[in-house]
Every structure is written in C-alpha cells, then in structure tokens.
C-alpha cells in the first residue's frame, strides 16, 4: 500500500496577519483600561500624585516655597500635554534636575546619599503617576508594539549601539563641562555665588575628567533614551508633513523652507532637544535661585546655560548619527 504523502499546509492571509492582530488586541486591552478614566481626570491625578509624593523630599534639598510648587505643577502639566510617558518623564526630569543636584553635591558639600535620595524622590514621584495613568509609547514597549509602529527596531535593540550612544552622550557632557571648568566658569561661580563653600571641583583639571565621566554616565543613558530612542524609533506615516507649514502666509512659506525640509524623525529630535535645553535652563534658574541663598538669577542662569548647551550638543551629535544612510 503506497505511503500517504503528507499534505502541505498552506499559509493563509489570516495566518499572516495573526501576529499583527495579537499586537493590536493587546494594545487595545491596555488602552481600554486607561480609557475608563477620563483624560482630564487622569491629568489631575498625575499632577496631584506628583505633588503629594514629592512633598516627602527633604525640604533643605529642594525648597518649599509656593513658587517652587507652582513650577512643579507647570513642569508636570507640560510633560502631560507633550505626550510624555513614564520613561520619558523619568529621563526628562533626571536631566533637567541634574544641574541643581550636581551643584549641591560638587560645590556645597551636600552628602551624595542625601542628594541621591532627594533626586530619586523627585524623579519617581513624577514618573510613577505617568507610568500608571498613561500607556507607554511604542519605542518604550517594543514587545507589544505592532511591527510598523516602530522604525529601526533592530537599532534600538542592539546592545552595542546602546552602549556607543550612551558613551557618546556622556562624552559630550563631560567635555562641555570640563571645558567650562578650565576656562570661564570658575570666575562666574565666584562672582554670582556668594560664599560658595568649595570650588575645588572646578579646578580638578585633567585628573578629574575620569571621575566626571563616570558620574555623568547615567545622564548619557537618559539623554540617549529621551532623544535618540524617540527620534530613531519614530515611524512616520506616508505624506506626513508639519502642520505649521500649511497655508499661503509668509510664515507658512518660511516654515516649509526650514522646518518642513526636515524629515519627521529629525523634527522629533530637534523639538525634543530644544524642549530639553529649555527645561534644563528654566528648572535650574527656578531651583537654584529659589532654594540657595546668596545666588543671583544671573548666576543660576549661567550654571543652567552650560548644561543646556551640553544638551543641545548631544542632540546635534545624535542628529549626525541619524543622518547616516539606513538609520
């Protein structure tokens, strides 16, 4: 009796689309749970949750004035309006509060443990409500994101590229800060920060560069996550264009010839770099001038401007990487 030839299983279109459907069903289930809470209510819960949790931060570290509380509410509100998820908020706050806590640790003799506790409470108290009340973006949830929702998935998952981009951002921060220490910054610190207890960190010279680099490694990772991951993984839709460039007005024409010439992922990188630099500068002015005695607004702005320039330089460096074909 002749042996039966096994039938070949044909792959139907239903089988091909099953993974995509599973991704979509998972995403829909996660979204529906959050959709039960109206968006305005989620926004209020995020702001209140952040303010209540951050009240546990040691007051001598971050101050307790009404202006600082109002600024914290503005900071959280902008993060919500800009569509940041929990991981975005954690990276953003880590970088925007880094100048303040670095100043306290390097020049005011605050114990590293005290600074780290206050730093951690500030970040967690804000990022946690976002993580609970807003679904993570596709680039931060690759395992549940549909295949076409994230571009350059292999780049984002490559550990070598992750290490390279983190070290690159850290190097940018280290060089900018070291160059400022070696030239004009110590004089500005003495002029605008009256009674500064210790300025030895600014005069450490080349011997202090390795320590500075290691200290800034977490900042390099945060910058990579906030800038590089979000822009490299951005998946644009066909025919997508900048909304501000529509119309026949002169401003629209200028927009089309400048902003409109950029690719969608470059627009994401540029906008996030500017938002980050402004956040660093404004937060440093509010926190430093509002919590440390005998510090002028000009002095706080000077210290914040150094870090803001470092953030813009890191963003430009990531843009140089993304300009490579295939990224």
In three-state secondary structure terms, 202 is helix
Asked if residue 6 is part of any domain, the answer here is no
Asked if residue 17 is part of any domain, the answer here is no
Asked if residue 290 is part of any domain, the answer here is yes
Question: What pLDDT does residue 231 have?
Answer: 95
Cβ neighbours for 149, distance < 8 A, ≥ 6 positions apart: 138, 235
Q: pLDDT at residue 58 above 60?
A: no
Question: Tens digit of pLDDT for each residue in 177-190?
Answer: 999 999 999 999 99
Highest mean pLDDT among 1-10, 47-56, 153-162, 254-263: 153-162
Share of the chain above pLDDT 90, in %: 47
Residue closest to 288 by CA, chosen among 307, 274, 275, 271: 307
Mean pLDDT, residues 195-220 taken together: 91
Question: Contact, 181 vs 187, CB < 8 A?
Answer: no
Q: Is the dihedral of CA 19, 25, 29, 32 positive or negative?
A: positive
Asked if residue 23 is part of any domain, the answer here is no
Asked if residue 296 is part of any domain, the answer here is yes
For residue 230, give its domain range. Answer: 34-322
Asked if residue 12 is part of any domain, the answer here is no
Measured distance CA(169)–CA(157) in Å, rounded: 18
Flag the least confident range among 2-11, 151-160, 168-177, 221-230: 2-11
Q: What is the number of other CB atoms lying within 10 angstroms of the CB of residue 39?
A: 12
Question: What pLDDT does residue 49 have?
Answer: 66
Query: Which residue(s) pair with 193 in the sheet?
Result: 295
Flag the least confident range among 112-126, 209-223, 232-246: 232-246
Q: What is the number of other CB atoms lying within 10 angstroms of the CB of residue 326?
A: 5
213 pLDDT band (50/70/90 cuts)?
very high
Length in residues, the chain: 327
Measured distance CA(262)–CA(250) in Å, rounded: 19
Counted domains in the chain: 1
Question: Contact, 298 vs 283, CB < 8 A?
Answer: no
Question: Contact, 142 vs 23, CB < 8 A?
Answer: no
Asked if residue 242 is part of any domain, the answer here is yes
Asked if residue 173 is part of any domain, the answer here is yes
Measured distance CA(187)–CA(255) in Å, rounded: 41
Mean pLDDT, residues 272-277 taken together: 97
Mean pLDDT, residues 4-19 taken together: 47
């Amino acid at each position: 009796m002749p042996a039966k030839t096994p039938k070949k299983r044909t792959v139907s279109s239903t089988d091909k689309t099953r993974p995509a459907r599973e991704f979509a069903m998972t995403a829909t289930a996660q979204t529906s749970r959050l959709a039960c809470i109206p968006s305005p209510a989620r926004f209020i819960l995020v702001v209140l949750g952040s303010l209540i949790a951050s009240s546990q931060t040691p007051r001598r570290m971050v101050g307790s004035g009404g202006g600082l509380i109002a600024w914290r509410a503005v900071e959280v509100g902008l993060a919500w309006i800009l569509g940041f998820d929990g991981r975005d908020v954690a990276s953003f706050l880590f970088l925007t509060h880094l100048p303040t806590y670095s100043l306290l640790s390097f020049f005011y003799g605050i114990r590293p443990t005290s600074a780290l506790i206050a730093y951690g409470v500030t970040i967690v108290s804000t990022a946690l409500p976002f993580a609970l009340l807003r679904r993570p973006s596709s680039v931060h949830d690759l395992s549940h994101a549909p295949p076409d929702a994230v571009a350059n998935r292999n780049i984002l998952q490559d550990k070598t590229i992750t290490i390279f981009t983190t070290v690159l951002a850290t190097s940018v921060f280290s060089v900018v800060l070291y160059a400022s220490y070696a030239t004009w910054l110590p004089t500005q610190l003495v002029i605008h920060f009256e009674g500064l207890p210790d300025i030895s960190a600014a005069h450490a010279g080349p011997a202090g560069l390795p320590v500075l680099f290691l200290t800034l490694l977490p900042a390099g990772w945060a910058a990579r996550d906030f800038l590089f991951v979000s822009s490299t993984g951005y998946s644009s839709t066909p025919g997508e264009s900048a909304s501000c460039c529509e119309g026949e007005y002169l401003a629209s024409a200028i927009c089309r010839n400048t902003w409109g010439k950029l690719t969608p992922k470059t627009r994401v990188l540029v906008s996030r770099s500017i938002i980050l630099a402004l956040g660093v500068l404004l937060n440093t002015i509010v926190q430093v001038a509002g919590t440390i005695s005998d510090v002028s607004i000009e002095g706080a702005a000077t210290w914040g401007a150094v870090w803001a320039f470092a953030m813009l330089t890191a963003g430009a460096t990531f843009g140089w990487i993304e300009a490579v074909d295939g990224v």
